[in-house]
Amino acid sequence: MGTVELQNLTKEFGSGDDAIVAVDDLSIQLEDGEFLVLVGPSGCGKSTTLRMIAGLETTTEGDIRIEDGLVTNREPRDRDIAMVFQNYALYPHMTARENMSFGLKMNSDLSEEEITERVEDVAGIMDIGDLLSDEPSELSGGQQQRVALGRAIVRDPAVFLMDEPLSNLDAKLRTTMRTELQALQEDLETTTIYVTHDQTEAMTMGDRIAVLNEGELQQIGTPLECYNRPANRFVAGFIGSPSMNFVDVTLEDGALVHPEFEYDLSESTLETLAGHTELVLGIRPEDIELTDESGEIEASAQVVEPLGDFSHLHASIGDDTVTVTVEAGTAIPNDESLGLSVPEERLHLFDPETGTALKNSDAPVKNAHLLAA
């Protein structure tokens, strides 16, 4: 059972006034076979978390359990994990076969024949059977990463830990490897924790995603839960591409009031907002529809970015700028008034002080294919 439990995990670097809290009281539980993506901006503590699980970094506080066993103070080799790094970390003077066999030779009781059999089986799965005699310098980046993944797979660990494993690959290969890796993980059913700063990777690969910021867990949930029902403004802005639009408004006489528009709210939404006057309105670019000038929100078109089957329209609403996703070929009057309309069920509203979501989208996600754009 490859379950993983992180309990109140904290990591401080340095001490006293100079201390950096890289990971702050992080608690996460993974089920056996789950694919969890740790995602967040640079410096949010993703790699430090992974390195603590691997045993490459000590913990300041908290516990780590793998397969129900406490491993917090165990050596990396005694944790039944295999790690894959961004820079492949292959031994340069060993062939692909030797790289893949090395861990098994050092840390298992398998015979030479058993190791050979396992390496060749995995090389078949990874489609690198004819590269086993090559050294890393003879392999492309994509091939090196296949060898690095193969090396992790032959170990047959309880848990894979992957730190931005696809970041060094070009965009096309990254997309292909993303799909392959996901299919492979489903076949192997090995619990996987995957670190990335790329929200698209997180949205498309994870069974669940854990969004971190400044060492703290912001939200953990399925990609669509985090997308439709972000816990706070940070998650709302981080998940989704292009980002959610945010506009400051006030709540007056049952309506959201902005210098350029008023938006009447239903009784049920007003109930959820009771006690709040200052609000941040969040609208996803794909939830905005262009109407005529009499739309709920008056805006003027600024720039259109064509992206194939859809375009991003940047429009201004007074001093605010919003992005609208429109289908390719949509007629957009240049520098003229546009009417924008957004169904109330798709509005997000946040507390400007705490960032907490007060109202989220009640509707199923629209244009889900655009998430991966």
The residues that touch ligand ATP, with contacts defined as CB under 6 A, are 13, 20, 22, 40, 42-48, 197
We find the least distance from the C-beta atom of residue 188 to ligand ATP, in angstroms, to be 25
371 neighbors 240 (Cβ within 8 angstroms): yes
45 neighbors 218 (Cβ within 8 angstroms): no
Q: Rounded distance, CA 189 to CA 184, Å?
A: 8
Helices (H) and strands (E) in the chain, counts: 9, 21
We find the least distance from the C-beta atom of residue 220 to ligand ATP, in angstroms, to be 16
Q: Which is nearer to ligand ATP, 28 or 126 (CB)?
A: 28
Reference 140, options 90, 184, 73, 81; nearest CA is 90
Q: Which is nearer to ligand ATP, 210 or 371 (CB)?
A: 210
Q: Which is nearer to ligand ATP, 40 or 157 (CB)?
A: 40
Which DSSP symbol is given to 168?
T
Q: Which is nearer to ligand ATP, 40 or 285 (CB)?
A: 40
We find the least distance from the C-beta atom of residue 170 to ligand ATP, in angstroms, to be 19
> Burial level of 255, CB count in 10 A (0-12/13-18/19+)?
middle
Q: Which is nearer to ligand ATP, 3 or 48 (CB)?
A: 48
We find the least distance from the C-beta atom of residue 359 to ligand ATP, in angstroms, to be 30
We find the least distance from the C-beta atom of residue 13 to ligand ATP, in angstroms, to be 3
We find the least distance from the C-beta atom of residue 163 to ligand ATP, in angstroms, to be 8
Q: Which is nearer to ligand ATP, 11 or 348 (CB)?
A: 11
Q: Which is nearer to ligand ATP, 195 or 340 (CB)?
A: 195
- Whether the CA torsion 257, 261, 264, 269 is positive or negative: it is negative
Could you tell me whether strands 159-163 and 191-196 are parallel, antiparallel, or unpaired per DSSP bridges? parallel
We find the least distance from the C-beta atom of residue 205 to ligand ATP, in angstroms, to be 16
48 neighbors 38 (Cβ within 8 angstroms): no
Alpha helices (H) in the chain, listed in sequence order: 46-54, 96-107, 112-125, 141-154, 171-188, 199-205, 223-228, 233-238, 267-272
